[in-house]
Amino acid sequence: MNVSDENLLKSISNDALLDLTQRYGQSAFGFGAGHGAGAPGRFPLTPATDFLSGQTANDDEDGFDSLESRKRGSSFGDDKPGGPLAKKSKEQRSLRLSINARERRRMHDLNDALDGLRSVIPYAHSPSVRKLSKIATLLLAKNYILMQAQALEEMRRLVAYLNQGQTITSPIPTALAPFGQAAVYPFSGSALATCAEKCTTYSGTPASLFKHCNDKP
157 or 212: CB nearest DNA: 212
Residue 165 CB, shortest distance to DNA, in Å, is 51
Shortest CB 209 distance to DNA, Å: 5
CB 10 to DNA: min, Å: 10
Angle at 113 between CA 108 and CA 114, to 5 degrees: 95
Which residue, 46 or 164, has its beta carbon nearer to DNA? 46
Contact 200, 122 (CB under 8 A): no
Give min distance, CB of 208 to DNA, in A.
7
Q: Among residues 201 and 205, whose Cβ is nearest to DNA?
A: 205
Amino acid at position 194, single letter: T
User: Which residues lie across from 129 on neighbouring strands?
Assistant: 213
With CA atoms as reference, report the closest residue to 111 among 103, 6, 80.
103
For residue 72, how many C-alpha atoms fall within 13 Å in the half-sphere facing its CB? 11
Residue 61: burial class (beta carbons within 10 Å; 0-12, 13-18, 19+): middle
Q: How many other CB atoms are found less than 10 A from the CB of residue 21?
A: 12
Which of residues 177 and 196 has its CB atom nearest to DNA in the complex? 196
Q: Which residues in this chain contact DNA in the complex, by CB under 7 A?
A: 34-39, 45, 47, 58, 63-64, 66-69, 72-78, 83-85, 96-104, 106-108, 111, 131-136, 209, 211, 214
**DSSP at 133:** P
Report the 10 Å Cβ neighbour count for 137: 19
For the chain, the first-to-last Cα distance in angstroms comes to: 15
Of 78 and 153, which has the nearer Cβ to DNA? 78
**Among residues 46 and 163, whose Cβ is nearest to DNA?**
46
As a dihedral over the C-alpha atoms of residue 159, residue 199, residue 138, residue 21, rounded to 10 degrees, the angle is: -60
> Taking the complex as a whole, how short is the minimal distance between the CB of residue 67 and DNA, in angstroms?
7
Q: Closest separation between CB of residue 41 and DNA, Å? A: 10
CA quadruple 123, 127, 130, 132: dihedral sign: positive
